[in-house]
Amino acid sequence: MPIVTIQITREGTTPEQKAALIKGATDLMSEVLNKPPALTFVVIQEVELADWGVAGLPVEEFRRQTGSEPNGD
């Protein structure tokens, strides 16, 4: 009965992508630890860009300063 929590920045993740994350995480628990899907919970938490910091900066400012692309981090 594992719980997999996936925290990502809120940047347009589609329902299909979320379904793929849920399936992938559940399959992973089944394949590696033989955990039954019926008792595997997956929770996705989308976090606003202003609420996520890296290198001491909010993500958008970090990207501005480093020139990295939205999906480069």
How many residues of this chain interact with its own copies, rule: CB under 8 A? 55
Q: Give the closest residue to 4 by CA, choosing from 34, 49, 45.
A: 45
Tokens at residue 47, please?
A: 């976090």
Minimal distance in Å, beta carbon 60 to its own copies? 9
Q: Give the closest residue to 60 by CA, choosing from 10, 5, 6.
A: 10
Minimal distance in Å, beta carbon 62 to its own copies? 9
Residue 17 identity: Q
- Residues with catalytic function: 2
Binding residues for its own copies, rule: CB under 8 A, are 1-9, 13, 15, 17-29, 31-47, 50-59, 61, 71-73
